[in-house]
Amino acid sequence: MPRYRFPLIASALLALSANAQQTPLTVQVEMLPPTGLTRIVDIVHCGDERTFLVLKAGRILIMNPDNTVNTTPFLNITTQVNSGGNEQGLLGLTFDPDYAQNGFFYVYYINGSGSGTSRVSRFSVSADPDVADATSEEILYTVAQPYTNHNGGDIDFGPDGYLYIGFGDGGSGGDPQNYAQNLNSPLGKLIRIDVSGSAGYTIPADNPFVGQSGVLPEIFAVGLRNPWRWGFDRITGDLWIGDVGQNAAEEVDFWPAGDLTGPNFGWRCYEGTNTYNTAGCQPAASYVAPVAHHQQSAQGWCSVIGGRVYRGPTYWRLEGRYLYTDYCGGQIYSLVPNGSGGFTRTQVLATGTAGFSCIGENAAGEIFLGNDNNGRIYRLKEACTALPPTIQADATRISSSTAVAYQWYLNNASITGETAQTITPTASGFYHVIATVNTGCLLSSDTLWFSPVGVNDLDRAGKGLIARPNPANEELMIDGPLAVGGRIELIDASGRVAIAQGVSARGPQRLGTASLAEGAYVLRALAADGALIGQLPVVVAH
């Protein structure tokens, strides 16, 4: 649900998000000191201040909080890893949810010669917390690979505590054996297993295909081409997948937390939203459509790199945004819910650096990118880091917190000449300021409803007026000093009366809000002669 702030001020008002004229949201990538991270493929944390860097040849390194990298690898299994092909090697790492107690972690790598075999194994840390016990391997899951490419390789624990493993469609091109739609094969799937026992794994009883004849019970999701990098939102538990395309399109897939109905993301029938090979397929509506589709030709994309939802404490404007890129294009995009069940896509870094191969986060929720071309690691930063201005009002004026420069707005239209820190309004409406908080960074305040009425009216504003529930869904119950013959009304963010009704009898009044758009409003109670009785901030949230 959206979060609203309500400043309590004498003129009684309403805070809601302002928009327009702010510095657009952009990100920067800051190169960190470590070098020589040859073929970096994954960035992971174990819940403490260390960051673990996975190298394709079979080594895992530790990066410390000061950005130094330990000379001794955390794990070195290069002798077991087949990294001969471009998409082979040590490809994924995740730590047990109880790692601090049990010391278990899990890796995905290609073993054996030729096309090899995908192997998911559990290891233990040694007595030295910075070095794993390389002899502790327990092989949990294996899949023979028909080709050297499209191995997937990402693994992660979901919010349910189960281990999720991503497999590509087995390789070649175009999924010639149609593995991604074959429910007898883990290829082209996301599987879900329980590794909480002392050895091996079990199948969660609520997996989508448990009990169905001829279907692997470990399958969680179907129809993936090569889910190279994917992960869960650490707050909501939602699943985000970057699924690498064939020769035309790259896609990002989304699946909400807790939904165990077994999504089919459509490959090889569809590549993104493009038709690919629909022999034996259902109509497009039968599959889960991507939430982002990028034509490769538009920006030189070739391999989407799935990212993370930013949940760190540093960059407040990135909060809740899913951030991802592409190996060849390097531009960074953001996806954020649009409030209508979909997502708004925004390019937040226009000139990218080619070669980003993975995106991960540390324990604090800050986002890092690994670059395969130069063996470097980058930290994602937001270009405009200052906090937004705040505004408050007294009986006659509205003032902004201190900034470099100011421009005031009434009902989202700029007010000519109003560029001082304080404004004396002459009209009722919604006010906000766009302030230059530091060089090159313009940010908006929240919005206040301000009515330049007399002191007596101000003293009465809101007193005794009650509106429940707040936020409202279907209706508001309004009580207090209402006047028979008067009216009650809700005013929206543009200053218009969104809904109004007369008060024909004493007692509580019901005001229907089911037809109103979600957002912030001002509830006003008026006497029969139109005089203001009181006003309150109200939120409608369906």
Please name the residues in contact with 104: beta carbons below 8 A apart, sequence gap of 6 or more. 95, 96, 98, 122, 123, 124
What was the pLDDT predicted at 3?
29
Angle at 103 between CA 187 and CA 207, to 5 degrees: 35
Q: Can you tell me the distance from the alpha carbon of 53 to that of 254, in angstroms, rounded to the nearest whole number? A: 26
pTM (2 decimals)?
0.81
Write down all domains in the chain, each with its CATH number in brackets.
27-382 (2.120.10.30), 391-450 (no CATH), 462-540 (2.60.40.3080)
Decide: 509 and 482 in contact? Cβ < 8 Å.
yes
Tokens representing 51 are 């960051």
What was the pLDDT predicted at 493?
73
What was the pLDDT predicted at 12?
30
List 380's β-bridge partners, or say none.
Answer: 29
What was the pLDDT predicted at 530?
84
What is the CA 306 to chain-centroid distance, rounded?
11
Which stretches of the chain score pLDDT less than 70? 1-20, 453-463, 494
What is the CA 55 to chain-centroid distance, rounded?
26
What was the pLDDT predicted at 462?
58
Give the helix/strand (H/E) hosting 296: helix 296-299
Map residue 457 onto helix, strand or coil.
helix
Positive or negative: CA dihedral 352, 353, 358, 364: negative
Decide: 17 and 367 in contact? Cβ < 8 Å.
no
What was the pLDDT predicted at 463?
61
List the one residue out of 92, 236, 223, 116 whose CA is nearest residue 164: 92
Tokens representing 471 are 């936020």
What was the pLDDT predicted at 14?
36
